[in-house]
C-alpha cells in the first residue's frame, strides 16, 4: 500500500504493508531507531511519537493510519545542530541514565508543554505517567521538565 | 590560558546525554544490518520433561525459513554459566523450566519466524517437577541435574560465631519471624538484544546488550566450540541491566545462529513476554530470623536461615547466597551468630544477579527484626541501631571485618537530626480521616567487588591521539549508570582537560582490555582506579616528552590544560598535538592493570561459601527513612516522604550520585509495594508489563539524598560504589513504617494494598 | 498481510463493511491491537473509524449531550461540557490509562470492548446513557446496560457500528463521583471501581442515588433495590458504610492475577465511604 505522510517535516511516500506497526515502519524500514520499543502493548511509552502534534504510541498504530498525517520522532525534535530546550534540560538536569525511555519521555514532554506551558510537579508526574523509566526514579526527569518549561516561557 | 575548575566533585554533564536524547545513540537493539536474518527460539512449555522427539519437518521447507537448529547443531559443550556451567544454549536431553529454549529458527522476517516456531512439534515425556525450594531439598525430590552429589542443593553452608543457641537463652528479649521474599524482574526497558555475524576470516562478532562482554566470550567459546580468538563481543550502551544482563542472555543463541547463517548477519530482540519468560530474576526466598538482645539494648545473639530458589540453572545463585549470608547481620555487632544458607534448584525461572545481590532479601528481614526487637525492649528504633552499629575495625555479626571506611553511624545521626524524623510524631498524629500514617527506617551495607576468591581486575587503556585529544577505551559495560561518562571525568581530572577533549570507546573485546563485569558496585571503583593510574602515567610521559623536546627543563614546570601544555615559567603554550606528533604510537597509549584489595580474613569460613564471594573488604553504607500513609478504605500505600543518607565515600559527581540514590530507592519501592511476580507451578502469571506492576511517575515521591562522605582510601579520589546500596533499604524502611501505621508487621512482600486491606479488616474484626 | 481501511464518511464505511463482513472495527486500537498481538484475535481486515468526522463530535442538544463514538478520552477530558455537565465521566477519563492511551482510545471503543474494568462504563451506567447504533439503513437506541451482555459481549449487530452516546444532563443539585482502585496510580486497570450520581433536595436529603460497580462481576453492575434505600437519607459515613455492605453482598467478583475476589468484594464495601472521604 502506498502511504504518504510527513516525517519530521519531510514528505514521505512509501510502499509498505498497511497492517504493520508504525514502530516497525520507523525502525526497520526507515532506519529511525530513536523511537524505542519496550513492551509492544501500550504499557511503557518508549515508542511514543507525535502524530499531528499529539503524543501517541507507535506500537499501537498501523502504518495505514499515517496516511495524510504529520509525525514527529525524536530525530525530528531538534532539526538544527542545537538541542531543543527540553533535550538540553534533560542533559543538564541528569534526566538520562540508560536513555532507553528518554525519546518517549521527550515526546510526552513536548505534548505536555504544548497543552500546559507552566505545569507544576504533580501535573508533570501525571503527564509522564504513561512512560515507564526503570533507572531514574523519575525525579530528575521531573526536574528537567520543570526547568525546560521555565526556560521556554522566558523565551516567549 | 583557559580557567579550569576541577571536574572531580562537580556535576559534570554526562557525555552520553546528547546522543541518547537525540535518538542517535545505537543500542544493541538498534542494529539492523543489511540482509540480516531474524533468529528466535521455540521454548519449552513444560517445567520438567524429557525431550522425546523434535519434529522440524513442518517448517523445513516453509518459505522464508533459513535454518532450523537443535542441540545437535552445537559443536561445543552446549553449556553456559558462571561459576557453574550447567545451562544449555539449546536443551538437549531434557527441559528444566517453562521457557527453556529447545529449537532455534532463522527466518527472513518476524512473521514467518513466529509461524515456524508455532509449527515445530516437540514431544515431551513429562517428569515430576518441584517448585518449592524446601521441597526440592527433600530426600526423594525430583532432580534437576542428575549427577550432582548435592542433588538439588546448588550451594549450602553456615557461618558460626560463638554459640548463638546458648546465647539466645541468655537474652532479655528475643524476636523471631519468617520472611517471604518474591521474585523481582529487572524489567530493563531494552529487552535482551543483539546482532551477530561470522565474517570472511571466521571472526564471530556479536554486538549485544550485555554487562559482561569478556566473560561472554569465554562462555561462548566453550559452549559453541568456536576458538576464543575468533570471537569478538561488543557492548554498546545498554538500555538498562541491573544484573539481568550479567551473563549470557541471547548471546549463545545469537552466536549459534551466526554460525549457521551462511555469513549473513542475524538479529535477536526478545519481546517483553519472552524477556519475562527467559530472563533471570532476583531470587525469591525465605529468610528466618531469631534475634536477641540484652535489656541495655546490646544485640547478643542471632540465628538466621536463608533459603533461596535459584530455579532451573545455577547462574549466579551461589554467589548471591554467599552475599546474602555475608550481609545477614547487617551493620551490627552481634557476638553470637549462626547463619545457614541454601541455594536450591527448582523447576522455576532462573534466579540470578540483581542489584543488591542477596543483600535486599536479608536486610528486608533483619531490619524489620530490629524494629520488632526495639519495641520489645521499648527502645527507640534509631537509638537501638546506633547502639549496635559497627565502627571501623569492628566485625559484623557475620564475622565480616570492617577494615575500610565505615560511616554508618554518621548516616544514622543524619537521620536522627532530620526534621522528617524529629517531627514524626506530629506528622503521624495529623493523619487525615480514613488514613493511617507511620514512619519507618532501615540501615544496611553493601560489599564492593568480587570477594576473596575471584580476582577483581580492571585494565584501563587511554590514548593521546595525534590531534592532541584523548581516547578512553572503557573496559566495563555501561548499563546506564554512567560509569563510562565518569571515566571522562576521572581522566579529565588527571589530565587537566575538559570533557570535550575525550572520545570514548565502549567495551569491545577487540579494542578494549578485559576489565570484568558491570556489576558488584565495582565498575567505577575498579576501572576508575585503573584509569586514574593509566592517565597519570600518560601525563608523566607527555610532560617528560615536552622536556625531551626542549620546551622546558622540568616536568613540574608544565601544566596540562585543554588541548595544550602550559609552560608556567615562560608562559608558553604548546599544543598537545605537537607533543603527540613526537611520540610513537605505543608511547601515546597508556595501560594500567589494577587489582582490587580483598579481605583475606577470616579464612575459617566454609570454603564453598568463601569461594562464592564471602567476605568483602570495602563496603558502602546507608540508612533510609520512609513516611507512609495508608488508605484505610483501599489498603493503598502512599510514600509521602523519603530520605536516604548514604556513605559511598567521596562523591565524584553529585548528579550521578543522586541518579543512583533516586533510581535505586524507587526500584526498591517497587520491590516493597508493587512488583509481585507470580508463578503457578512454573507457569508465569505476570507475563508482561500490564500485570507485573512497575511504579510510574505518579506512584513515587521525590527523594531526599544526604551524602555522608567518608574517604575510602582504596577508591579513586576516595569513592566507593553507590550502585547497589541504594536499593537495599526501601523494603524494610517502608515495611517498618507500615507496621507502625497498622500495628503489626507483615512478613510477606510485596506489601500490596490487597494484603494490607485484608489485614486491616481482620484487625478491625478482632 | 491484512488490509486496513480508513473511511472518511459513513457511506464509504457501509460499502467497505458490506464487502468485508469479517472486518474488525478499530476505534483507537489500544485494546484491539493488543488482543491481536496476544493472539486472542486472529489477524483480519481492519476497519478504522478514526477519520469519520461526524463520529468525533461532542454536542449539547437541549437537555442531552451527544458524544460521537470516536471521541477520544482526551477530548472528553478537554471538553468544558463534559467537565461541567458530566463530572462523573470526566473524573473517570482523568484516571483512564495514561496520556497517550487517552489520546488514542475512544469512548466507543471502551464501550464495545465491554470489559467490566472499562473506566467509562460505571459513569455511563449511572448516567443511564443511551447508545445509538447505526447500520446502513436505520439506527436504534439501546440503554448501555442492555447493550453490554458480558465480558466482551455486546448486542452490536454485525452490520452496525456504535454511532453516538446520548446522555441526559443530570438534574440540578446532582453530584457525581468516580473512584477506582488499581494496582498503581496510572496505567492501571480497575480492580474495583465505583461511579455514583447523587441528586440532593434543598434540605440535602438524597432524592436519588445511583451506583455502578466496575470489575466486580461479568459486567458493570447496578443494584436499584439498594440504591433506593438511600432516598430521603442524608449523607453520612454510617449510611454509606451500610450501603457498601449491602452492595458487597450482591457483587460477584472473580480472582485473577490482579486481585482476589475477596479483596474486590471488600473494596466494593468500602468505596462508598470514599464519597465521604472526598467531601471532608
Mean of the pLDDT values across residues B546-565? 95
With beta carbons under 8 A apart, name residues in chain C contacting B691.
257-258
Buried b (16+ CB within 10 A) or exposed e, B129-151: bbbebeebbeeebbbbbeeeeeb
- pLDDT(B2) > 90: no
Distance separating alpha carbons of residues C262 and C245, to the nearest angstrom: 13
Task: Return residue ranges of chain A for CATH 1.10.150.120.
Answer: 85-155
Does C273 contact chain B (CB < 8 Å)?
A: yes
* C-alpha distance from A60 to closest chain C C-alpha (Å): 6
C154-C158-C160-C161 Cα dihedral, nearest 10 degrees: 60
Distance separating alpha carbons of residues C149 and B89, to the nearest angstrom: 49
- How many beta-carbon pairs below 8 A join chains B and C? 52
- The interaxial angle of helices B730-742 and B359-376, nearest 10 deg, is 30
- Quote the pLDDT of residue C201: 97
Cell numbers describing residue B562: 585543554
Are residues A12 and A5 in contact, defined by beta-carbon separation less than 8 angstroms? Answer: yes
Cell numbers describing residue A119: 505545569
Strands (DSSP E) contained in B554-709 are 558-561, 564-567, 572-575, 589-595, 619-631, 637-647, 679-680, 683-684, 703-707
Are residues B89 and B126 in contact, defined by beta-carbon separation less than 8 angstroms? Answer: no
Task: Give the end-to-end CA distance of chain C in Å, rounded to a whole number.
Answer: 57
* C-alpha distance from C57 to closest chain A C-alpha (Å): 18
**Beta bridge mates, B438:** B628
3-state SS, residue C206: strand
Mean of the pLDDT values across residues B8-24? 96
- Position with higher pLDDT, A16 vs B600: A16
- Quote the pLDDT of residue C63: 94
* C-alpha distance from C201 to closest chain B C-alpha (Å): 27
Distance separating alpha carbons of residues B340 and B362, to the nearest angstrom: 12
Altogether, the residues listed in chain C come to a count of: 280
Altogether, the residues listed in chain A come to a count of: 156
Which 668-727 residues of chain B touch chain A by CB within 8 A? 688-690, 694, 696-698, 700, 702-703
Taking an 8 Å cut-off on Cβ atoms, the answer to whether A87 and B21 are in contact is yes
Does B28 contact chain A (CB < 8 Å)?
A: no
What H or E segment, with its residue span, contains residue B607?
Answer: helix B607-611
Cell numbers describing residue B454: 575471584
- Write down the domain spans for chain B: 17-25+457-595, 31-127+192-269, 281-451+601-765
Which 225-244 residues of chain B touch chain A by CB within 8 A? 237-242
Taking an 8 Å cut-off on Cβ atoms, the answer to whether B698 and C262 are in contact is no
Which residue is it, cell 525465605?
Answer: B286
Does C274 contact chain B (CB < 8 Å)?
A: yes
Distance separating alpha carbons of residues C121 and A130, to the nearest angstrom: 22
Interacting residues of B367 by C-beta distance below 8 A, sequence separation 6+: B330, B442, B443, B444, B729, B732, B733, B736
Cell numbers describing residue C258: 490482579
Q: Which residue of A has its CA nearest to B692?
A: A43
Per-residue pLDDT of B254-312, as tens digits, reads 999 999 999 999 999 999 999 999 999 999 999 999 999 999 999 999 999 999 999 99
CATH fold for domain B281-451+601-765: Aldehyde Oxidoreductase; domain 4 (3.30.365)
Cell numbers describing residue B627: 513516611
Distance separating alpha carbons of residues B133 and B348, to the nearest angstrom: 10
- Quote the pLDDT of residue C1: 76
CATH for C4-168?
Answer: 3.30.465.10
Please give the C-alpha separations between residue A108 and each of A113, B23, B480, C153, in angstroms, as whole numbers: 9, 15, 21, 34
- pLDDT(B3) > 60: no
Please give the C-alpha separations between residue B125 and each of B94, B143, B349, C66, C138, in angstroms, as whole numbers: 9, 15, 20, 60, 59
* C-alpha distance from C101 to closest chain A C-alpha (Å): 7
The dihedral through the CA atoms of C137, C141, C146, C149 has a sign that is positive
Please give the C-alpha separations between residue B528 and each of B195, B591, B766, C234, in angstroms, as whole numbers: 29, 13, 58, 70
Q: Report residue C210 CA to chain centroid gap.
A: 15
CATH of B31-127+192-269, one of 3.40.640.10, 3.90.1170.50, 3.30.70.260, 1.10.1740.10: 3.90.1170.50
Does A112 contact chain B (CB < 8 Å)?
A: no
Q: Which residue of C has its CA nearest to A63?
A: C4
Per-residue pLDDT of B668-713, as tens digits, reads 999 999 999 999 999 999 999 999 999 999 999 999 999 999 999 9
Predicted-assembly ipTM surpassing the 0.95 threshold: yes
Q: What angle do CA C2, C3, C9 make, to 5 degrees?
A: 150
- pLDDT(B603) > 70: no
Are residues B72 and B53 in contact, defined by beta-carbon separation less than 8 angstroms? Answer: no
Distance separating alpha carbons of residues C119 and C97, to the nearest angstrom: 9
Does B761 contact chain C (CB < 8 Å)?
A: yes
Taking an 8 Å cut-off on Cβ atoms, the answer to whether C181 and B753 are in contact is yes
Q: Report residue B356 CA to chain centroid gap.
A: 6
Which CATH architecture does the domain made up of A2-76 adopt?
Roll (3.10)
Residue B302's nearest CA partner among B167, B180, B496 is B167
Rounded average pLDDT per 10-residue block, chain C, 280 residues: 95 97 97 96 95 98 96 98 98 98 98 98 98 98 98 97 98 97 98 98 97 98 96 97 96 97 98 96
CATH fold for domain A85-155: DNA polymerase; domain 1 (1.10.150)
Does A42 contact chain C (CB < 8 Å)?
A: yes
- Quote the pLDDT of residue C280: 87
Q: Say if domain C174-279 classifies as CATH 3.40.50.720.
A: no
3-state SS, residue B682: coil
Distance separating alpha carbons of residues B636 and C184, to the nearest angstrom: 9
Of C98, C187, C262, Cβ closest to residue B758: C262
With beta carbons under 8 A apart, name residues in chain A contacting B700.
137-138
**CA Rg, chain B, in Å?**
27
Q: Report residue C29 CA to chain centroid gap.
A: 17
- Quote the pLDDT of residue B4: 54
Dihedrals phi, psi of B442, to nearest 5 degrees: -160, 150
- pLDDT(B360) > 70: yes
Of A1, A112, A130, Cβ closest to residue C98: A130
Residue A136's nearest CA partner among B707, B725, B626, B658 is B658
With beta carbons under 8 A apart, name residues in chain C contacting B699.
184-186
- Write down the domain spans for chain C: 4-168, 174-279
- Contact partners for chain A, using 3 or more CB pairs closer than 8 A, are B, C
- pLDDT(B396) > 70: yes
* Full pLDDT tens readout for chain A, 156 residues: 999 999 999 999 999 999 999 999 999 999 999 999 999 999 999 999 999 999 999 999 999 999 999 999 999 999 878 999 999 999 999 999 999 999 999 999 999 999 999 999 999 999 999 999 999 999 999 999 999 999 999 987
Helices (H), chain C: 10-19, 32-37, 73-78, 80-85, 87-94, 99-104, 107-113, 121-126, 144-147, 224-227, 237-250, 261-279
Average per-residue pLDDT for chain B: 97
Sheet holding B457-464, edge to edge: B502-505, B470-473, B457-464, B589-595
Dihedrals phi, psi of B69, to nearest 5 degrees: -120, 145
With beta carbons under 8 A apart, name residues in chain B contacting A132.
189, 689, 694, 696
Task: Return residue ranges of chain A for CATH 3.10.20.30.
Answer: 2-76
What H or E segment, with its residue span, contains residue B536?
Answer: helix B523-548
With beta carbons under 8 A apart, name residues in chain C contacting A112.
99
Taking an 8 Å cut-off on Cβ atoms, the answer to whether A129 and B697 are in contact is yes
With beta carbons under 8 A apart, name residues in chain B contacting A38.
189-191, 239, 272, 689
Cβ neighbours, 10 Å, residue C92: 30
CATH fold for domain B17-25+457-595: Aldehyde Oxidoreductase; domain 4 (3.30.365)
- Quote the pLDDT of residue B602: 64
Cell numbers describing residue B686: 505476570
Taking an 8 Å cut-off on Cβ atoms, the answer to whether B693 and C189 are in contact is no
Per-residue pLDDT of B519-544, as tens digits, reads 999 999 999 999 999 999 999 999 99
**HEC profile of B337-398:** EEEEEEEEECCCCCEECCCCCCHHHHHHHHHHHHHHHHHHCCCCHHHHHHHHECCCCCECCC
Does A53 contact chain C (CB < 8 Å)?
A: no
3-state SS, residue A139: helix
Does C65 contact chain B (CB < 8 Å)?
A: no
Residue B518's nearest CA partner among B188, B80, B184 is B188
Taking an 8 Å cut-off on Cβ atoms, the answer to whether B696 and C277 are in contact is no
Interacting residues of B607 by C-beta distance below 8 A, sequence separation 6+: none
Buried b (16+ CB within 10 A) or exposed e, B459-476: bbbbbbeeebbbbbbbbb
Are residues A49 and A71 in contact, defined by beta-carbon separation less than 8 angstroms? Answer: yes
Half-sphere exposure of B460 (CA within 13 A, CB side): 31
Taking an 8 Å cut-off on Cβ atoms, the answer to whether C46 and A19 are in contact is yes
Distance separating alpha carbons of residues A86 and A144, to the nearest angstrom: 7
Taking an 8 Å cut-off on Cβ atoms, the answer to whether B685 and C262 are in contact is no
3-state SS, residue A14: strand
With beta carbons under 8 A apart, name residues in chain C contacting A131.
98
Taking an 8 Å cut-off on Cβ atoms, the answer to whether A33 and B26 are in contact is yes
Helix, strand, coil shares of chain C, percent, nearest 5, are 35, 25, 40
Of B482, B694, B702, Cβ closest to residue A97: B482
Taking an 8 Å cut-off on Cβ atoms, the answer to whether A57 and C97 are in contact is no
Please give the C-alpha separations between residue B420 and each of A143, B389, B427, B673, B704, in angstroms, as whole numbers: 22, 21, 9, 21, 10
Does B664 contact chain A (CB < 8 Å)?
A: yes
Strands (DSSP E) contained in B137-185 are 153-161, 173-181, 184-185
**Beta bridge mates, B565:** B560, B574
* C-alpha distance from A82 to closest chain C C-alpha (Å): 27
Distance separating alpha carbons of residues B532 and B540, to the nearest angstrom: 12
- Contact partners for chain B, using 3 or more CB pairs closer than 8 A, are A, C
Interacting residues of C191 by C-beta distance below 8 A, sequence separation 6+: B754, C181, C182, C183, C215, C258, C259, C263, C264, C267
Amino acid at each position: 500500500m502506498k502511504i504518504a505522510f510527513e516525517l519530521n517535516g519531510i514528505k514521505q511516500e512509501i510502499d509498505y504493508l498497511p497492517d504493520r506497526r508504525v514502530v516497525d515502519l520507523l525502525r526497520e524500514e526507515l532506519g529511525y531507531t530513536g523511537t524505542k520499543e519496550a513492551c509492544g502493548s501500550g504499557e511503557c511509552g518508549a515508542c511514543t511519537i507525535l502524530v499531528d502534534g499529539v503524543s501517541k504510541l507507535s506500537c499501537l498504530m498501523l502504518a495505514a493510519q499515517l496516511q495524510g498525517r504529520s509525525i514527529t520522532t525524536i530525530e525530528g525534535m531538534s532539526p538544527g545542530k542545537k538541542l531543543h530546550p527540553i533535550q538540553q534540560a534533560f542533559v543538564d538536569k541528569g534526566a538520562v541514565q540508560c536513555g532507553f525511555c528518554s525519546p518517549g519521555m521527550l515526546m510526552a514532554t513536548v505534548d505536555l508543554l504544548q497543552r500546559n506551558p507552566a505545569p507544576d510537579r504533580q501535573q508533570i508526574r501525571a503527564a509522564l505517567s504513561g512512560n515507564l523509566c526503570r533507572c531514574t526514579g523519575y525525579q530528575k526527569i521531573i526536574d528537567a521538565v520543570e526547568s525546560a518549561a521555565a526556560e521556554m516561557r522566558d523565551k516567549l | 590560558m583557559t580557567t579550569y575548575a576541577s571536574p572531580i566533585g562537580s556535576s559534570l554533564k554526562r557525555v552520553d546525554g546528547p546522543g541518547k536524547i537525540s535518538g542517535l545513540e545505537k543500542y544493541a537493539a538498534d542494529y539492523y544490518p543489511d540482509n540480516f536474518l531474524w533468529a528466535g527460539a521455540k521454548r519449552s512449555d513444560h517445567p520438567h520433561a524429557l525431550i522425546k522427539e523434535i519434529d522440524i519437518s513442518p517448517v523445513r521447507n516453509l518459505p522464508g525459513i533459513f535454518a532450523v537448529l537443535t542441540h545437535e547443531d552445537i559443536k561445543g559443550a552446549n553449556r553456559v554459566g558462571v561459576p557453574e556451567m550447567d545451562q544449555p544454549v539449546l536443551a538437549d536431553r531434557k527441559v528444566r523450566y517453562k521457557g527453556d529454549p529447545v529449537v532455534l529458527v532463522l527466518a527472513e522476517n518476524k512473521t514467518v519466524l513466529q509461524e515456524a516456531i508455532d509449527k515445530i512439534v516437540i514431544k515431551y515425556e513429562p517428569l515430576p517437577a518441584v517448585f518449592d525450594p524446601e521441597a526440592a531439598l527433600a530426600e526423594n525430590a525430583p532432580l534437576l541435574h542428575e549427577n550432582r552429589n548435592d542433588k538439588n542443593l546448588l550451594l549450602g553452608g553456615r557461618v558460626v560465631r560463638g554459640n548463638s543457641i546458648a546465647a539466645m537463652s541468655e537474652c532479655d528479649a528475643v524476636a523471631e519471624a519468617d520472611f517471604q521474599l518474591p521474585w523481582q524482574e529487572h524489567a530493563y526497558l531494552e529487552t535482551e538484544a543483539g546482532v551477530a555475524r561470522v565474517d570472511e576470516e571466521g571472526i564471530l562478532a556479536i554486538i549485544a546488550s550485555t554487562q559482561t562482554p569478556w566473560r561472554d566470550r569465554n562462555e561462548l567459546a566453550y559452549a559453541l566450540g568456536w576458538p576464543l580468538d575468533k570471537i569478538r563481543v561488543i557492548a554498546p550502551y545498554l538500555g538498562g541491566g541491573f544484573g539481568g544482563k550479567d551473563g549470557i542472555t541471547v548471546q549463545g543463541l545469537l552466536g549459534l545462529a551466526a554460525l549457521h547463517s551462511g555469513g549473513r548477519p542475524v538479529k535477536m530482540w526478545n519481546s517483553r513476554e519472552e524477556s519475562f519468560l527467559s530472563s533471570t530474576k532476583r531470587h525469591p526466598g525465605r529468610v528466618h530470623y531469631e534475634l536477641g538482645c540484652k535489656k541495655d539494648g546490646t544485640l547478643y545473639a542471632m540465628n538466621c536461615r536463608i533459603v533461596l530458589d535459584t530455579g532451573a540453572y545455577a547462574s549466579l545463585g551461589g554467589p548471591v547466597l554467599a552475599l546474602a549470608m555475608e550481609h545477614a547481620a547487617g551493620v551490627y555487632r552481634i557476638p553470637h551468630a549462626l547463619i545457614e544458607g541454601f541455594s536450591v534448584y527448582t523447576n522455576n525461572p532462573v534466579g540470578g544477579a540483581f542489584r543488591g545481590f542477596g543483600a535486599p532479601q536479608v536486610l528486608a528481614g533483619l531490619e524489620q527484626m530490629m524494629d520488632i526487637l526495639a519495641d520489645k525492649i521499648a527502645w527507640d528504633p534509631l537509638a537501638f541501631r546506633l547502639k549496635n552499629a559497627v565502627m571501623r575495625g569492628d566485625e559484623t555479626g557475620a564475622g565480616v571485618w570492617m577494615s575500610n571506611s565505615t560511616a554508618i553511624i554518621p548516616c544514622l545521626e543524619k537521620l536522627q537530626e532530620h526534621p522528617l524524623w524529629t517531627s514524626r510524631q506530629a506528622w503521624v498524629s495529623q493523619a487525615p480521616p480514613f488514613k493511617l500514617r507511620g514512619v519507618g527506617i532501615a540501615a544496611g551495607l553493601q560489599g564492593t567487588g568480587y570477594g576473596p576468591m575471584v580476582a577483581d581486575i580492571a585494565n584501563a587503556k587511554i590514548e593521546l591521539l595525534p590531534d592532541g585529544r584523548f581516547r578512553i577505551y572503557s573496559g566495563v559495560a555501561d548499563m546506564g549508570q554512567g560509569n563510562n561518562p565518569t571515566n571522562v571525568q576521572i581522566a579529565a581530572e588527571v589530565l587537566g582537560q575538559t570533557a570535550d577533549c575525550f572520545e570514548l570507546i565502549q567495551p569491545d573485546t577487540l579494542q578494549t582490555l578485559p576489565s570484568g563485569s558491570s556489576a558488584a558496585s565495582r565498575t567505577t571503583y575498579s576501572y576508575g582506579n585503573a584509569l586514574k593510574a593509566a592517565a597519570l602515567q600518560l601525563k608523566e610521559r607527555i610532560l617528560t616528552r615536552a622536556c625531551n623536546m626542549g620546551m622546558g627543563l622540568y616536568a613540574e614546570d608544565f601544566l596540562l590544560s585543554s588541548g595544550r601544555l602550559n609552560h608556567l615559567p615562560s608562559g608558553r603554550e604548546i599544543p598537545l598535538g605537537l607533543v603527540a606528533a613526537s611520540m610513537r604510537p605505543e608511547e601515546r597509549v597508556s595501560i594500567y592493570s589494577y587489582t582490587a584489595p580483598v579481605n583475606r580474613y577470616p579464612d575459617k569460613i566454609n570454603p564453598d561459601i568463601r569461594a562464592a564471594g564471602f567476605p568483602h573488604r570495602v563496603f558502602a553504607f546507608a540508612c533510609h527513612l520512609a513516611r507512609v500513609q495508608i488508605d484505610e478504605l483501599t489498603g493503598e500505600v502512599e510514600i509521602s516522604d523519603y530520605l536516604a543518607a548514604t556513605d559511598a565515600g567521596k562523591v565524584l559527581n553529585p548528579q550521578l550520585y543522586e541518579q543512583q540514590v533516586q533510581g535505586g530507592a524507587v526500584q526498591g519501592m517497587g520491590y516493597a509495594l508493587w512488583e509481585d511476580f507470580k508463578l503457578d507451578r512454573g507457569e508465569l502469571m505476570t507475563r508482561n508489563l500490564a500485570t507485573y506492576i512497575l511504579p510510574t511517575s505518579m506512584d513515587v515521591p521525590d527523594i531526599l539524598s544526604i551524602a555522608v562522605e567518608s574517604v575510602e582510601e582504596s577508591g579513586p579520589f576516595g569513592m566507593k560504589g553507590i550502585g547497589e546500596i541504594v536499593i537495599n533499604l526501601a523494603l524494610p524502611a517502608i515495611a517498618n513504617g507500615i507496621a507502625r501505621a497498622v500495628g503489626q508487621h507483615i512478613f510477606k512482600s510485596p506489601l500490596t494494598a490487597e494484603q494490607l486491606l485484608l489485614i486491616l479488616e481482620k484487625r478491625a474484626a478482632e | 498481510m491484512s488490509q486496513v481501511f480508513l473511511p472518511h464518511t459513513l457511506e464509504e464505511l457501509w460499502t467497505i463493511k458490506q464487502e468485508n463482513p469479517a472486518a474488525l472495527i478499530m476505534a483507537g486500537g489500544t485494546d484491539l491491537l493488543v488482543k491481536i498481538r496476544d493472539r486472542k484475535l486472529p489477524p483480519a481486515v481492519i476497519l478504522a473509524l478514526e477519520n469519520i468526522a461526524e463520529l468525533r463530535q461532542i454536542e449539547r442538544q437541549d437537555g442531552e449531550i451527544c458524544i460521537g463514538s470516536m471521541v477520544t478520552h482526551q477530548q472528553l477530558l478537554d471538553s468544558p461540557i463534559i467537565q461541567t455537565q458530566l463530572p462523573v465521566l470526566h473524573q473517570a477519563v482523568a484516571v483512564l490509562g495514561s496520556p497517550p492511551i487517552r489520546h488514542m482510545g475512544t469512548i466507543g471503543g471502551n464501550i464495545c470492548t465491554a470489559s467490566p474494568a472499562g473506566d467509562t462504563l460505571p459513569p455511563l451506567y449511572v448516567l443511564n446513557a443511551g447508545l445509538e447504533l447505526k447500520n446502513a439503513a436505520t439506527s436504534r437506541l439501546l440503554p448501555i446496560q442492555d447493550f453490554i451482555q458480558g465480558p466482551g459481549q455486546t448486542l452490536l449487530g454485525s452490520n452496525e457500528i456504535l454511532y453516538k452516546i446520548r446522555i441526559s444532563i443530570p438534574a440540578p443539585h446532582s453530584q457525581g463521583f468516580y473512584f477506582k482502585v488499581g494496582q498503581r496510580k496510572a496505567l492501571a486497570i480497575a480492580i474495583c471501581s465505583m461511579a455514583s450520581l447523587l441528586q440532593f433536595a434543598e434540605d440535602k436529603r438524597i432524592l436519588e442515588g445511583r451506583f455502578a460497580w466496575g470489575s466486580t462481576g461479568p459486567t458493570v453492575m447496578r443494584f436499584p433495590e439498594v440504591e433506593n434505600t438511600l432516598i430521603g437519607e442524608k449523607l453520612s459515613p454510617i449510611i454509606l458504610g451500610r450501603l457498601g455492605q449491602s452492595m458487597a453482598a450482591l457483587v460477584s467478583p472473580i480472582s485473577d492475577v490482579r486481585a482476589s475476589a475477596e479483596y474486590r468484594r471488600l473494596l466494593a464495601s468500602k468505596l462508598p465511604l470514599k464519597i465521604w472521604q472526598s467531601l471532608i
